[in-house]
Each structure stands twice: as structure tokens, then as C-alpha cells.
């Protein structure tokens, strides 16, 4: 096993016009599952390819297992990478697909087979070795690609949106499998996704990226509860965190913390919500409306669990409240987290 680290990493394209990676520092723990999360174009794939050695950094270093590998070719890095489009050879059997990289590396035939069968067994596809890719489901094909990566006995797994070709239902079960698999194997993994629920479900820690930089690196609960800035606050969470401008600051609170005032006890801020729309989504009630908490009326969303049965009608003003401890504050200019300010009730 090994850790992955990048130091002051920069990767520019087109003579510096595109800064795909614009100064990234991060380090995984031993056996950690680190997720790179961010919108399309923020530099996730470039960062992963630079770790793999498929791109040379403009500046900075990549370390694997504590050793600087910048400048070393991919095969010298003990990494295995699975891309979004994991091309399998259509005319080869599953077994032949899995052993292929070992043939290329001139591993003896008997050992090749043994390693391939072991990898296939770990992924629960041991019974499919004689089939061709077209005789497999999407999830099974994805596991073949993972097995093919696993036969290298890599020190590090690099996965770039490996589930994005699967349909929603399959994606959920493949996600569970991936997590269990990683726990069994214990290989340090860097996993790229733009899907926040995938990131929250899989990651030991999440690096939230935007425009070539890491905005925040933390456990799922940290980036959710204590976002470092308004980008993280609104990129994570569905619906996103509410932000109400007031003077120099933005007052932030999650939709599930804006609740009918009669069920919020302790220190709280109460606010009238002019209800404009109510939606039912997987058991929760999403209430859209306007509050007067800041400089001017602001649109917000409240998310009420099914256990809250308070009648709420469109067109009425309903008293809502937020526990004071749930309020977050951000600088109105920079968007960075700031010290709490007093919000009069
Ligand atoms: P993500 O994987 O987060 O969607 P990418 O790492 O693919 O983002 O891309 C980051 C940025 O770098 C984008 O603006 C993209 O257009 C640019 N980029 C990536 N690869 C190249 C390349 N080979 N040449 C020029 N620009 C590139
Ligand atoms: Mg990408």
C-alpha cells in the first residue's frame, strides 16, 4: 500500500491560458478513499492523470508512498487507473480481458491465470470468465474493468467517474460494491466524481474542487456541516444551503434546519416565511418561499421530514425558526467563512 501526495501542483494548457490545476496541495492517508468532487471542467481528470503520470505537471510534485515520482512513467508508479469509458476488448473473453495487462508485462502464464481468477473472485465475477463483454450487464462490465486494474496488484487505485455510464439504480448498488471492495482490499484510492451523493457515500474524505483549486478537504460531515466557503456550501447539499445577504455577511442555513417554529426549541431565530410553493420529494416536503431576515426579502427553501405534519398552505405566512447553532456566516465579498454575528430574532 501507499499514500498519494501532490505538492504545489500546477498544470497549464495552451501556453498558460488554461490553468487546469492551479496550485493544489493534498495528501491521502494509508488506505484512504479520497474523493475529488467538483463541477465539470474544474480539473479533476487532469489532477488524476497527473498523479498517474499521463500528464506532466507544469510545476510541483507528485509523491507515491512518500517518494517523488514526478517525471517517472505511469508503469513505474504502481498505480491502476479505471476511466469512465473502460474499453474492454469485445472479442476477448472476460478472462482474456483481465489477463491482458499481465501478458503485456510478460508475467508467466500460470501466474497470470491465478492472479486473474483471484481478482475476479474478489469482485464476484469468477463465474463469468468465459463470457464475452456483450453478454454482461453494465455493472458486470465495470467489475471486469476493475478486475483488470486489480491484477496489477497496484499500490494505488485511481478511478475517474467509473460509475457514470451506469443507470441510476445500478449505480447505487455498484457504489456499495465499490466501497465494500475497497474496504476488503484496503488499497489507497483516489476517486473522481461530479456527483455529490456518490462523494458523500464513498469518501473517507472529500476534496471539493473548483477552477483548478481545492476549496475544502474534509470528511463528508465536515464539508456538509462546516463548509469553508459559499461555493462548498451551495455545491454540496440538495437543495443547497440557503444564503441570505445582510450587511457585510451572508447568513447561511441548510433547508432541513429551517423548520416550523413550534418544533424548534432552545436558542433560535424566528422568521416569517411567505409560502410560494410546496413539493413532495421522496417523503420530504420542500417549501419554497421568501423570508425577511436580511437586507431585503430573500427566496429560501425549507425541507421538512415526513414526520413533521404541520399544515402549510401556499399563499400563507408561516412562522419558521432556525436553531442559532445551525447558522453559518460568510463574507459577502469573498464568500469565505467568517465569525458568527448576532442575528436579532
Ligand atoms: P474535469 O475532469 O473536472 O471535468 P478536466 O480536468 O477534464 O476537468 O479539465 C479541466 C480544464 O482543463 C478544462 O477547462 C479543460 O477544458 C481543460 N483541459 C483539459 N485537458 C486539456 C488539454 N489536453 N488541452 C487543453 N485544455 C485542456
Ligand atoms: Mg473529468
pLDDT score of 143: 85
- Atom 24 of ligand 1, residue of closest alpha carbon: 13
- Atom 16 of ligand 1, residue of closest alpha carbon: 41
- 294 versus 98: which is more confidently predicted? 98
- Of 225, 259, 276, the last residue of a domain is 225
CATH number, domain containing residue 11? 3.40.50.300
For residues 203 and 137, membership in a common domain is answered with yes
* DSSP per-residue codes, 75-111: GGTTEEEE-SS-PPPTTS-HHHHHHHHHHHTT--HHH
- Residue 323 near residue 266, CB atoms below 8 Å: yes
Residue 230 lies in a domain: no
Residue 233 lies in a domain: no
For residues 57 and 176, membership in a common domain is answered with yes
- C-alpha 25/C-alpha 242 separation (Å) is 30
Residue 109 lies in a domain: yes
Cell output for 259? 423548520
pTM: 0.91
Is the CB of 45 inside a 6 Å radius of any atom of ligand 1?
Answer: yes
Measured at the CA of 42, the angle between CA 227 and CA 84, to 5 degrees, comes to 110
For residues 152 and 275, membership in a common domain is answered with no
- Atom 1 of ligand 1, residue of closest alpha carbon: 41
Residue 95 lies in a domain: yes
Question: Cα of 304 to ligand 2 centre, how many Å?
Answer: 35
Atom of ligand 1 nearest to the CA of 46: 6
Is pLDDT at 3 greater than 90 in this prediction? yes
For residues 212 and 262, membership in a common domain is answered with no
Q: Where in the sequence is the domain holding 191, given as residue range(s)?
A: 4-225
For residues 212 and 246, membership in a common domain is answered with no
- Atom 15 of ligand 1, residue of closest alpha carbon: 41
Is the CB of 18 inside a 6 Å radius of any atom of ligand 1?
Answer: yes
Residue 231 lies in a domain: no
Is the CB of 40 inside a 6 Å radius of any atom of ligand 1?
Answer: yes
For the segment 38-45, the average pLDDT, to the nearest whole number, is 97
Residue 339 lies in a domain: no
CATH number, domain containing residue 246? 2.40.50.140
Question: What is the signed CA dihedral for 165, 18, 196, 302, rounded to 10 degrees?
Answer: -130
Sheet containing strand 205-210, edge to edge, reads 79-82, 156-160, 188-193, 33-37, 205-210, 213-218
Q: What percent of the chain has pLDDT over 70?
A: 99
Counted domains in the chain:
2
For residues 210 and 88, membership in a common domain is answered with yes
For residues 219 and 252, membership in a common domain is answered with no
- C-alpha 188/C-alpha 157 separation (Å) is 6
pLDDT band at 82 (very low <50, low <70, confident <90, very high): confident
- Of 193, 225, 257, the last residue of a domain is 225
6, 43, 55, best to mutate for ligand 1 pocket (most atoms within 8 Å of CB) = 43
Question: Cα of 11 to ligand 1 centre, how many Å?
Answer: 10
Is pLDDT at 24 greater than 60 in this prediction? yes
168-222 confidence digits (pLDDT tens):
777 777 788 778 877 877 889 999 999 999 999 999 999 999 999 999 999 999 9
For residues 62 and 154, membership in a common domain is answered with yes
- C-alpha 251/C-alpha 260 separation (Å) is 19
- Residue 194 near residue 37, CB atoms below 8 Å: yes
Residue 234 lies in a domain: no
- C-alpha 325/C-alpha 323 separation (Å) is 5
For residues 254 and 214, membership in a common domain is answered with no
- C-alpha 307/C-alpha 284 separation (Å) is 9
- Residue 24 near residue 212, CB atoms below 8 Å: yes
For residues 185 and 305, membership in a common domain is answered with no
Amino acid at each position: 500500500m501507499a499514500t498519494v501526495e501532490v505538492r504545489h501542483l500546477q498544470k497549464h494548457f495552451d501556453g498558460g491560458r488554461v490553468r487546469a490545476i492551479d496550485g493544489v496541495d493534498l495528501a491521502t492517508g494509508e488506505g484512504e478513499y479520497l474523493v475529488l468532487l467538483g463541477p465539470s471542467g474544474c480539473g479533476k481528470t487532469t489532477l488524476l492523470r497527473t498523479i498517474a503520470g499521463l500528464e506532466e505537471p507544469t510545476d510541483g510534485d507528485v509523491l507515491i508512498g512518500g517518494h517523488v515520482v514526478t517525471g517517472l512513467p505511469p508503469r513505474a508508479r504502481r498505480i491502476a487507473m479505471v476511466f469512465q469509458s473502460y474499453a474492454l476488448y469485445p472479442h476477448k473473453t472476460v478472462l482474456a480481458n483481465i489477463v491482458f495487462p499481465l501478458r503485456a508485462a510478460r508475467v508467466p502464464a500460470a501466474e497470470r491465470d491465478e492472479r486473474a481468477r483471484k481478482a475476479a473472485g474478489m469482485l464476484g465475477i469468477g463465474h463469468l470468465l468465459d463470457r464475452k463483454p456483450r453478454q454482461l450487464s453494465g455493472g458486470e462490465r465495470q467489475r471486469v474493468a476493475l478486475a483488470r486494474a486489480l491484477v496489477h496488484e497496484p499500490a494505488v487505485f485511481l478511478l475517474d467517474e467509473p460509475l457514470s455510464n451506469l443507470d441510476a439504480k445500478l449505480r447505487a448498488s455498484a457504489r456499495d460494491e465499490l466501497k465494500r471492495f475497497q474496504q476488503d482490499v484496503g488499497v489507497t484510492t483516489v476517486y473522481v466524481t461530479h456527483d455529490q451523493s456518490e462523494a458523500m457515500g464513498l469518501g473517507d474524505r472529500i476534496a471539493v474542487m473548483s477552477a483548478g483549486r481545492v476549496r475544502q478537504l474534509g470528511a463528508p460531515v465536515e464539508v456538509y456541516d462546516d463548509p469553508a466557503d459559499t461555493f462548498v456550501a451551495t455545491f454540496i447539499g440538495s437543495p443547497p444551503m440557503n444564503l441570505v445577504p445582510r450587511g457585510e455577511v451572508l447568513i447561511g442555513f441548510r433547508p432541513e434546519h429551517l423548520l416550523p417554529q413550534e418544533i424548534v426549541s432552545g436558542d433560535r431565530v424566528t422568521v416569517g416565511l411567505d409560502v410560494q410553493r410546496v413539493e413532495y420529494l421522496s417523503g420530504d416536503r420542500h417549501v419554497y418561499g421568501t423570508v425577511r431576515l436580511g437586507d431585503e426579502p430573500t427566496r429560501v427553501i425549507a425541507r421538512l421530514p415526513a414526520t413533521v405534519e404541520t399544515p402549510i398552505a401556499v399563499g400563507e405566512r408561516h412562522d419558521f425558526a432556525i436553531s442559532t447553532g445551525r447558522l453559518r456566516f460568510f463574507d459577502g465579498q469573498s464568500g469565505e467563512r467568517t465569525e458568527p454575528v448576532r442575528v436579532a430574532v
